[in-house]
Amino acid sequence: MKSIVSVQGWTLDIAVELDRHSMGFAGYFFRASDERRQVIAAYFAMRMPQVDVMESSAMTEHAQLLLKADHQHILIEAFGKVPVGLRPALARAGGQPHEPRFYRYLHDLLTNPPHQMLASALGQIGKIDLTRLRVLKRLPEDLAYGRLAVIMRDVDYVTSALSLIDLLVSANVDRDALTGALVKVESRSQLSAFWRRWALKTTFPSHPVPPSSFYAPIQDGHALKASALRFRNCSERYLAAVLEGKAAFAEFEHVDQHVVVHLLNRRGEWMFESAYGRQNRNVSAAVRSEVLEYLASHGVFERCDRQKAPGRWEALRDLTSRVGFYDEDDEEDQDG
């Protein structure tokens, strides 16, 4: 004898009511295989939404059909047409019945219009639920893969991901190459790294200051990462701001120092934010002056008319800035 599965929710009420008209139906429902229980639940959802108003003869007829007919016949009676992928999907929907809209949503997903990729994608999902169905429906056909439906979590994530794909493509990332790589991602941690890696393939908006023999605008994501590694700073964290046109970076060469120039855009006006050397060290007054002079000749000025006076703790900021973000061999504190 098959073990009894504890069933809760709306299907329990219908099964108990059917048992009143066809003795033994409830026990049959509780002992059914997972797939059989899901097939019966689909029938309940489509054909028996209001058992309290059904006549006794109709209840008996429903019960006998569900007790004797095979899965395919029950689904035909429920939906009229059984699309490719419906039965296998129900077989992977778990042991507990879902809410009624799950079954309608699943059927509509496979029939309006018929979507072979979706049927294949459903076959790649270990356990199917309403959230994963909604994720699959939101994914375009070239991304309709079961693995993505699992690791993208919910519709909000998919919406954000599709918006980001459009933004990356607008910044000269090849969509076919991007989506071809995306469908190979296997975990959520890999997915997070994927977005960061592909964002580095972007081309930046036009830099507000023209290049020269000593002023080199940073014009794409890979160049920004290379600069961050070379100067041991965190400029790569500004990637989104640069792509939004709210920030820009350049490298400035001087006989005494090679520095990074950071510009900000405030309400459409570009201005000088800072200049710093390796590991965010301060630049000499001479270098700063030359940077400002070059920027001013192209209409970019300091954020304030006068330089802010150094604070009382300026020495602490200056000295600790010499400890780089990328340093890996910091000495242990030996002061006790």
Listed residue (110, 117, 113) closest to 179, CA to CA: 117
96 pLDDT more than 60 = yes
pLDDT given for residue 328 in this prediction: 46
- The pLDDT of residue 63: 95
Indicate if the pLDDT at residue 114 is higher than 90.
no
Lowest mean pLDDT among 68-82, 109-123, 127-141, 161-175: 109-123
CA distances from 259 to 283, 284, 292, 316 (A): 7, 10, 13, 21
Work out the average pLDDT over 261-276.
95
Confidence of residue 247 (pLDDT cuts 50, 70, 90): very high
Q: List beta partners, residue 216.
A: 251
Q: Which two tokens stand for residue 87?
A: 């039965």
> Which residue, 275, 291, 295, 271, is CA-closest to 283?
275
Q: What is the pLDDT averaged over residues 109-135? A: 86
Q: Give residue 141's pLDDT band: very low, low, confident or very high (50, 70, 90).
A: confident
Q: What is the pLDDT of residue 327?
A: 47
Mean pLDDT within 95-108: 95
| pLDDT score of 309 | 57
**pLDDT classification of 325: cutoffs 50, 70, 90:** very low
Domain ranges of the chain: 1-94, 115-202, 215-320
**Section 254-280 average pLDDT:** 93
DSSP 8-state code for residue 334 = -
Considering the chain, what percentage of its residues have pLDDT values greater than 70?
88
Task: Note whether 132 and 150 are within 8 A (CB).
Answer: yes
Residue 308 has pLDDT above 60, yes or no: no
Look up the pTM and report it.
Answer: 0.78
Tell me which of 46 and 313 has the higher pLDDT. Answer: 46
Q: State the DSSP string of 248-279.
A: EEEEEE-SS-EEEEEEEEETTEEEEEEEE-GG
- Looking at per-residue confidence, does 28 or 48 come out higher? 28
Statement: residue 173 has pLDDT above 60? yes
Local confidence band at 54 (pLDDT 50, 70, 90 cut-offs): confident
pLDDT for 120 equals 85
pLDDT above 60 for 221: yes
Q: Can you give the pLDDT at residue 152?
A: 92
Q: Check residues 70 and 113 and name the one with the higher pLDDT.
A: 70
Name the burial class of residue 323, with classes exposed (0-12), middle (13-18) and buried (19+) by CB atoms within 10 angstroms of its CB: exposed
| Low-confidence winner among 25-29, 146-150, 272-276, 315-319 (lowest mean pLDDT) | 315-319
CB 243 within 8 Å of CB 167: yes
What's the pLDDT score for residue 336?
A: 46
Would you state the pLDDT for residue 305? 44
Tens of pLDDT, residue by residue over 66-91, are 999 999 999 999 999 999 889 999 99
Q: Is the pLDDT of residue 208 over 90?
A: yes
Distance between CA atoms of residues 134 and 105, nearest Å: 8
Average per-residue pLDDT for the chain = 89
**Residue 331 confidence (pLDDT) above 80:** no
CA atoms within 13 A on the CB side of 234: 5
pLDDT of the residue at 41: 97
Q: Quick check: 332 pLDDT over 80?
A: no
Task: Give the closest residue to 253 by CA, choosing from 220, 238, 231.
Answer: 231
CA 259, CA 21: separation in Å to the nearest integer?
A: 85
CA-closest candidate to residue 229, choices 187, 279, 168: 279
Residue 187 banded pLDDT, cuts 50, 70, 90 = very high
